[in-house]
Structure 1
Amino acid sequence: MARQEWARWSLAAALVAGWAGSSGAQTLRIGLAAETTALDPLSNEITSNYTATRHIFDTLVQTDAQQRPGPGLALRWSARGERQWVFDLRPDVRFSDGTPFTGRDVLFTFCRILNNPTAAPGAFAEPVRNMENVELEGEHRVVVTTRGPNPLLPADLSNTAILSSRVAGDRPMRFTPEDGCGVAGSFPAINDFNGGQAAIGTGPFTLEDYVPGQRLMLRRNESYWGPKPHWARVELRPVTAGGPRVAGLLAGDFDLIENPAARDLERIRRDGRFTEQVTPSTRIMYLQPDVARARSPMVNEGGRNPLQDLRVRQAISAAIDRKAIVERVMEGAAEVAYQFLPDGMSGALDPAPELRFDPALSRRLLAEAGYPDGFPLVLHASNNRYVNDAKVAQTLAQYLSRVGIRATVDTMPVSVFFTRRRENEFSLTLGGWGSSTGEASSFLRHWVATANREEGLGSRNYGGYSNPELDAVLKQALRTMDDAAREALLRQAVSLTLRDLPEIPLYFESSTWAFRKDLAFTGRVDQMTLATEVRPAP
């Protein structure tokens, strides 16, 4: 090769290499396992929505990959007595439209949570309903007065995205959610976020394009207050079927994908271009029986609802081989659950009593309950939300059928499943929940406590369970500022729940990611996939 040609080739190669290695020219393409239902960050408390909206919006308190809280839009927070929390905000933060971030935006966000008719019932409302007042001390200090002691308020706010108050106009605002807090116009709705008009945040990326069910395109926020993301653009694309998701990775359509099936990991490893990360999570998978209605729509034996009988719920639990599900269906990407939070976390029993696989005991309990020949029921589940959700549901039905509970399975997309479950159309459902606080209270207050809208409890208690003894213990825990005393109360509440089995724990999901070998990603216990945490491998 002539010297001049070599020089030209070397210059071109250097330019290409420089372009490929430059953070200003790189696009990260992520294949998601579940669809984002909306870009409204306060519409639904589900991980697939957090994954999308956390790129655009920030929270007062941020959690790291291990769910440890740290400064976000709030630099620090402290208790002022037993009923006040003081949040000192970051100065010099701006929204993506250039407007400055102040305490007024925090007040607006809390008001909008309680004025959001398009949100899932109870979404993000629990901590805000327990606020008696929200006051601003200057532009960058927010003082929240709660109705009673609330030691978990900072942790509860770690998933509450802060919105821009620009639509509120210049009128004075006050924390009076019942009359709209003085907001001049209407609060933004889901379509305003999906269309981009309200998708204005302080996060590391800004919205470029969103086509529901197809793709979300993001562009780096060059004025972001925190460390600048490595990626200039990010594409999040949902591919709910595992096979096509893996095929997309192998074909080069994706740089990183969520939850490849365990059976595909060996194929990915053999390729040599990819690696994987398996991270345990706090997501509990469980069965929720209808225990409230004397007649339930999907199980009705002799005019009765068998699920109201504790012995029947115990029989269902004993009929299930949790270890086999973990090993064979989940292929090791899960851990057996005998309670609602992994061992060692706050409020978890140490140890939890084993929920034994004992088909003979299951049949005996059914006979004692008056169902020696069992009964028919329908088990409902999603088929595109959790890892192997439809396959797990089919396996559960087989276990139940072996002891006489003739279970049929009806699975559906998560958007349909969530809607129908909210309308109480089901009798027995397979569900999942990831703890947002790292305490047992996260599951108990949403799924087990007696439904009470004003107190922000039982927002997902679709089974209708109610136990005044448990409610009293849980409420005491939620207002106990001392960590050790609160943990003891939470353990008591967990014990009461396991005694009555209004929710039947099955296993904790682990999350798996597969990605190019030249990338580094450690995974998060909350199962979010954040582009800010994907970096070039060292």
Structure 2
Amino acid sequence: MISHRLLLAAPLGALLGLAAALPVAAQRTTVTIAGASPVASVDPHITNTASYNALGLHVFDRLVLQDASGALRPGLAAEWKAVSDTVWEFRLRPGVKWHDGRDFTADDVLFTFERLPSAAGGFVSAIRPVAKTEVVDALTLRLETRQPYPLLPNDLANVAIIARHAAQGAAPEDWNNLRAAIGTGPYRYAAFQSGDRAELVRNEQYWGGAEPWTRVNYRFIGNDGARTAALLAGDVDLIDQVPSADLQRLKRDQRLSVTQSEGVRLIYLQTDFSRQEAPPGVAAADGKPLSRNPFQDQRVRRALTLAIDRQALAERVMEGTANPTGQWLPPGTYSYNPAIPVPAADLDAARRLLAEAGFPDGLRVTLSTPNDRYPNDARVSQAVAQMWTRIGVRTQVEAVPWSVYLTRGQQQAYGIRLGGWGSTTGEASYLLRNVLSTFSQGRGSANFSRYSNPALDALTERAVVTLDDTAREKILQEATQVAIDDVGLIPLFLLGNSWASRRGLHYEPRRDEYTLARSLRPAD
């Protein structure tokens, strides 16, 4: 029997890094935050992206929380343990109230799990290993997995818990008009305008202690220049995704404070694997239609990755705010594979591979990208297009707003696309399960290109049921090598995270890139 037990051995505020309200806070009780990525719905299960998760964390708790470094901390579950190789017990925190005053119980967790398979966001992968959920009593829950599954607490840290009495039978509009948006978190919604702003007010009865901010205005400002201008004008107190072009200038400004952290978000490219015929936007060098999908040939994919100068992308396009990579975790992270280098650009080898694959004259492709989701996303795509054109893959860039891009991507509408994925669990299987696993119920929720590799799937499945941490790490490293060798995706770089706030405030930088009011505190 394995034993993983985490108890409240210290005051909750210390564990979460949540300081009690400081005297200075009494002088300043309202803050305004500007996030770079818009949120269209307050339904916490509608999409698994950083901006949605960050806003949702203000209102909806999870059984397990993560601190700024990614370490697991008690949330709505005060403690949890594995009582056998396949059974986990979660003891819920007593006395927790929903924002409308009703009691939080294990039945709400059960309802949340029941909803996930029909929710759009792909969170069902977190409970896919669970074969049986048993409500022992109002504050005790037992989860039986089909096989040993040591990563269950990590996965549950991504699932927002919602109230049965508020959300059961709720229509999509019931979330944005806030009838269903009742949580247990440190703030509650006062107003929400899709894609524009949310207004949050302090939950005075929060189980973790009342926050110093009585009101939080959470705005969405996608334009980099406008976001920086709002901070400099004093219209907002904190911005995230500090534009790379402004970072050094803001660091020198004595009116501001800039904090940064290493990130776990990979920016990558992925070719279409969903069809045998040529995908949208892909043609022969002379523009004529192709009879086959060139991306089904590994040599073409290898040519594309060899044409990219990652160091130039990180230094020139990202202006030093990203680190080039050949995989999806930073060095020193559990399951990072030190045997995988950052690929060096080799244009001659790329041309040879194209010729061997039957495309000596090259190709024409359209590279699709969002223009308002990731830092410099469209600029990065333009730079990659120039690099590919040098090997004969004449590339045009299609840049669209994230709201359009996400919907079309889910429909396999792109021949090759730019994407991003944050490994917030701090290990390699999170991307393997969601981005590279063969698309099926509970797997491959973000595998929009429909990559499929049975050997890789088998390694992933082996890894996630392996109890021994050292053995599991070796399997994950092997799986990472298989994915990179097969060019299941093309890693570019890992983003760094940055925030800028007005003087007198300090933002604790987070590895998961979430922008949270509870991480913003009056400076000492």
TM over 0.5: yes
Structure 1 match to 2:310? 322
Is it true that 1:37 corresponds to 2:40 in the alignment? yes
Q: How does 1:473-512 map to 2 (within 5 A)?
A: 473-512=459-498
Structure 2 match to 1:159? 158
Give yes or no for contact 1:25–1:232 (8 Å, CA) kept in 2: no
Structure 2 match to 1:16? none
Q: How does 1:510-521 map to 2 (within 5 A)?
A: 510-521=496-507
Q: How does 1:122-521 map to 2 (within 5 A)?
A: 123-167=122-166, 186-295=168-277, 296-301=279-284, 302-453=290-441, 456-521=442-507
How far does residue 94 in structure 1 lie from its aligned partner after superposition?
Answer: 0.6
Separation (CA, whole Å) in 1 of partners of 2:146 and 2:328: 28
How far does residue 534 in structure 1 lie from its aligned partner after superposition?
Answer: 0.5
Separation (CA, whole Å) in 1 of partners of 2:460 and 2:238: 41
Instruction: Name the CA shift for 1:406/1:143 in 2 (closer, same or farther; >3 Å).
Output: same
Give yes or no for contact 2:166–2:181 (8 Å, CA) kept in 1: no
- The alignment yields a C-alpha RMSD, in angstroms, of 1.7
Q: How does 1:58-137 map to 2 (within 5 A)?
A: 58-116=61-119, 119-120=120-121, 123-137=122-136
Give yes or no for contact 2:412–2:448 (8 Å, CA) kept in 1: yes
Name the SS of the counterpart of 2:58 in structure 1.
coil
Separation (CA, whole Å) in 2 of partners of 1:203 and 1:189: 22
Give yes or no for contact 1:24–1:231 (8 Å, CA) kept in 2: no
Separation (CA, whole Å) in 1 of partners of 2:342 and 2:33: 39
Structure 1 match to 2:12? none
Name the SS of the counterpart of 1:450 in structure 2.
coil
Separation (CA, whole Å) in 1 of partners of 2:310 and 2:166: 51
Structure 2 match to 1:182? none
Separation (CA, whole Å) in 2 of partners of 1:487 and 1:265: 36
Displacement over 3 Å in runs of 4+: 19-25
Name the SS of the counterpart of 1:226 in structure 2.
coil
Q: Which amino acid is 2:281 matched to?
A: M
How far does residue 270 in structure 1 lie from its aligned partner after superposition?
Answer: 4.5
How far does residue 449 in structure 1 lie from its aligned partner after superposition?
Answer: 1.3
Name the SS of the counterpart of 1:54 in structure 2.
helix
Structure 1, gaps ≥5 residues long: 1-18, 169-185
How far does residue 462 in structure 1 lie from its aligned partner after superposition?
Answer: 2.3
User: Residues 115-154 of structure 1, C-alpha deviation per residue, up to 9 Å, x if partnerless?
Assistant: 33xx24xx11112233211111111110011122211111
User: TM-score, normalization: structure 1?
Assistant: 0.90
Q: Which amino acid is 1:191 matched to?
A: E
Q: Which amino acid is 2:282 matched to?
A: V
Query: Which shows bigger deviation, 457-466 or 41-50?
Result: 457-466
Separation (CA, whole Å) in 1 of partners of 2:413 and 2:467: 39
Query: Which shows bigger deviation, 43-52 or 144-153?
Result: 144-153
How far does residue 167 in structure 1 lie from its aligned partner after superposition?
Answer: 4.3
Separation (CA, whole Å) in 2 of partners of 1:440 and 1:532: 28
Give yes or no for contact 1:281–1:508 (8 Å, CA) kept in 2: yes
Instruction: Name the CA shift for 1:29/1:101 in 2 (closer, same or farther; >3 Å).
Output: same
How far does residue 237 in structure 1 lie from its aligned partner after superposition?
Answer: 0.5
User: Residues 170-214 of structure 1, C-alpha deviation per residue, up to 9 Å, x if partnerless?
Assistant: xxxxxxxxxxxxxxxx53233211111111111000111101111
User: TM-score, normalization: structure 2?
Assistant: 0.92
Paired residue total: 498
Greater C-alpha Rg: 1
Structure 2, gaps ≥5 residues long: 1-21, 285-289
Give yes or no for contact 1:292–1:308 (8 Å, CA) kept in 2: no
Structure 2 match to 1:6? none
- Find 1:28's aligned residue among 26, 31, 40: 31
Name the SS of the counterpart of 2:227 in structure 1.
helix
Q: Which amino acid is 1:250 matched to?
A: L
Separation (CA, whole Å) in 2 of partners of 1:199 and 1:125: 20
User: Residues 242-274 of structure 1, C-alpha deviation per residue, up to 9 Å, x if partnerless?
Assistant: 001111001110111112222223433444201
Query: Which shows bigger deviation, 186-195 or 397-406?
Result: 186-195
Q: Which amino acid is 1:87 matched to?
A: F
User: Residues 361-389 of structure 1, C-alpha deviation per residue, up to 9 Å, x if partnerless?
Assistant: 11121111111111101000111110111
Instruction: Name the CA shift for 1:115/1:318 in 2 (closer, same or farther; >3 Å).
Output: closer
Q: Alignment identity in percent?
A: 42
How far does residue 425 in structure 1 lie from its aligned partner after superposition?
Answer: 0.6
Separation (CA, whole Å) in 1 of partners of 2:247 and 2:491: 27
Separation (CA, whole Å) in 2 of partners of 1:499 and 1:351: 12
Instruction: Name the CA shift for 1:68/1:165 in 2 (closer, same or farther; >3 Å).
Output: same
